């Protein structure tokens, strides 16, 4: 067998159908498009899945699959200025430890989410003892400057209802 002797199987190739070339061709006049209507026009085909303006199937079905939003970490955010204001009003005591439970207790938030995050906006004069899941660098600096302490919880303790502590192998 030689390369110049190879050929397609019988019926494997077809001649191109010449449409609109008279009655004798079998595809004259309407060129196999039927009679009138959108699909008989020059660019009349609609995209796949189009249902004539009706809400299509792919939009009627519920969304499924992976979404990073399901795994985001949402903190209960509190600024240092807000904590100082609460201490000045007498709702928080400067000597007691400030945790997410104490923040919920005074009504600043309703849900613990993924824990307490302390941000550095505002000034703090009182000596604060804070136990939080996260804190900004400016908040840590301001608390230390005022003579207070900030304890950050380990990853496993942050999310009480969502994640379980990591098991050692």
- Residue 49: how many CB atoms within 10 A of its CB? 9
Q: Say what the pTM is.
A: 0.55
- Residue 108: how many CB atoms within 10 A of its CB? 17
What is the model's pLDDT at position 168? 55
For domain 73-157, give the CATH number. Answer: 3.100.10.10
Structure tokens at 60: 């009627």
What is the model's pLDDT at position 161? 52
Question: Which residues lie below 8 Å from residue 163, measured CB to CB, with a gap of 6+?
Answer: 156
| pLDDT 10s digits, 81-120 | 999 999 999 999 888 999 999 999 999 999 888 899 999 9
């Amino acid at each position: 067998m030689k390369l110049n002797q190879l050929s397609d199987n019988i019926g494997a190739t077809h001649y191109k159908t010449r449409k609109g070339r008279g009655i004798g061709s079998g595809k004259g006049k309407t060129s196999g498009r039927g009679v009138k209507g959108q699909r008989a026009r020059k660019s009349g085909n609609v995209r796949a899945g189009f249902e004539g303006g009706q809400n299509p199937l792919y939009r009627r079905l519920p969304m499924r699959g992976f979404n990073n939003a399901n795994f985001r970490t949402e903190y209960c955010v509190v600024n240092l200025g807000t904590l100082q204001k609460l201490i000045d009003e007498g709702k928080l005591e400067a000597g007691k430890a400030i945790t997410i439970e104490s923040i919920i207790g005074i009504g600043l938030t309703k849900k613990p989410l993924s824990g307490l995050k302390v941000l550095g906006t505002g000034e703090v004069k009182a000596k604060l003892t804070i136990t939080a899941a996260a804190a900004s660098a400016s908040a840590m600096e301001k608390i230390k400057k005022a003579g207070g302490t900030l304890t950050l919880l380990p990853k496993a303790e942050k999310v009480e209802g969502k994640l379980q502590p990591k098991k050692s192998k």
